[in-house]
Amino acid sequence: MSEILQVKDLHTYIGQFHILQGVNLTVEQGGVTCLLGRNGAGKSTTLKTIIGLLAPKSGTIGLAGGGAGAGPALTNIGGRPAHQVARLGIGYVPEDRGVFVDLTVEENLRLAERKRGDLAAKKDWLVKLFPDLERFWQQKGGRLSGGQQQMLAIGRALVPENKLLLIDEPSKGLAPIVVEQLAGALKELKRQTTIVLVEQNLWLAAAVGDRATVLDDGRTVWAGVMADLMASPELQNRYLGVGRAG
């Protein structure tokens, strides 16, 4: 398997605060890589730095095919503006979902088109994945429930041909039944694209995750196979602050 993304020794400041202090993250082609850690460990900041909303102070963000030649070699995309990063084929679903409340579902999706016709080509597939989107096609984003907004946010990241999705805590604030639906959708998605998933909900992470990277205090402290993490209550206790139940 080859790497699609390789983050090395990433440091990011927000204001004068040194948030990321050496994040390493390797994402293999295909499947779901979970980015785990306690509150404030730097998970969301890592995603924001990769997508280009925050500029790294040092370190590299290597993306396969990020160069002009679009070959398999890794190119450092650190510090590029977000729109350029996105156009390299990265979709981003932020923690607050970033649904535009004054725009209809259709307009939210159209906004993500990188060329005319992207949405038309994907619409059937999208509404099969998230049937609610079709039901509320002409409704304002602000009228949707939290779960529907999450579906819309993920659906929006699927409109253009993205080879990598960065999804930040999709389960946040959702009812367990909705989280289960979400898990089903993510399992379906990971067959076709690569996903980096920030998640506090270990059940969801375990259900869809293949590999995991754990951050603590802005540093990478563990990386490996998701199943190993789930099999080790001690690791979970040390890095994630969860009890033995897991």
Q: How far is the CB of 81 from another protein (least distance, A)?
A: 7
| The two structure tokens encoding residue 147 | 């779960």
Q: How far is the CB of 242 from another protein (least distance, A)?
A: 19
Report the run of H or E that residue 17 belongs to, with start and end: strand 17-28
Q: How far is the CB of 108 from another protein (least distance, A)?
A: 8
Nearer residue to another protein within complex by CB, 53 or 223: 53
Nearer residue to another protein within complex by CB, 31 or 98: 98
| Three-state helix/strand/coil letters over 144-198 | CCHHHHHHHHHHHHHCCCCCEEEEECCCCCCCHHHHHHHHHHHHHHCCCCEEEEE
Nearer residue to another protein within complex by CB, 87 or 128: 87
Nearer residue to another protein within complex by CB, 15 or 243: 15
Site residues (vs another protein, CB under 8 A):
14-17, 19, 40, 42-45, 48, 51-54, 81-83, 85-87, 92, 94-95, 98, 100-103, 107-108, 110-114, 142, 156, 160
Distance CA 71, CA 2 (A): 13
Q: How far is the CB of 10 from another protein (least distance, A)?
A: 14
